[in-house]
Amino acid sequence: MPQDTDESLPDGIGMTEAVEKLASAKARACYDAVKDDPSYDGFIIIGADTIVWKDEIMGKPVDRDDARRMLDKIRGTYHYVVTGICLIDKSSGSESVMNDVTAVHCVNYSDDDIEDYISREEPYDKAGSYAIQGYFGRYIDHIDGDYENVVGLPFYRIEEALKAYE
């Protein structure tokens, strides 16, 4: 149930604080949309937001030059993929917020590799300009953390958190 949510963040916000704030805002907007509707009684609302972090939040590239800049910044080093998750109990309005962080280590790919990759469609609708599950996966050396978090949603964290509602 997508909601129109303000995703602006204050300057200097940290990576975990940023995703938790965004996940909470998304879940709270959904909660506000259904809180008076009894057909949603017993539901748990899940809001989430994922960012790529390498000294800054790296969102979706605005153009080819931005994609090149991001891919250059993460090559031969590591960066973080951070997901914030917010659960809201529709019945009580109580909120639980958490995050998951995965370190992604990239090989030292070449300028030609970057040019080849940004000539494809894949990087332009992805935070950090890449999809680990796509063509770019060949440039990942290893990860420390949950692969599903890098793809977009750490299901195991959500499953564990939902046990509190049983």
Alpha helices in the chain (DSSP H): 15-34, 64-74, 111-118, 147-151, 155-162
Among residues 49, 55, 63, 113, the one annotated as catalytic is 49
Rounded Cα distance, 35 and 45, in Å:
10
49 in active site? yes
Residue 140 · residue 76 · CB < 8 Å? no
**Residues 149, 49: Cα–Cα separation, whole Å:** 10
Active-site residue list? 49
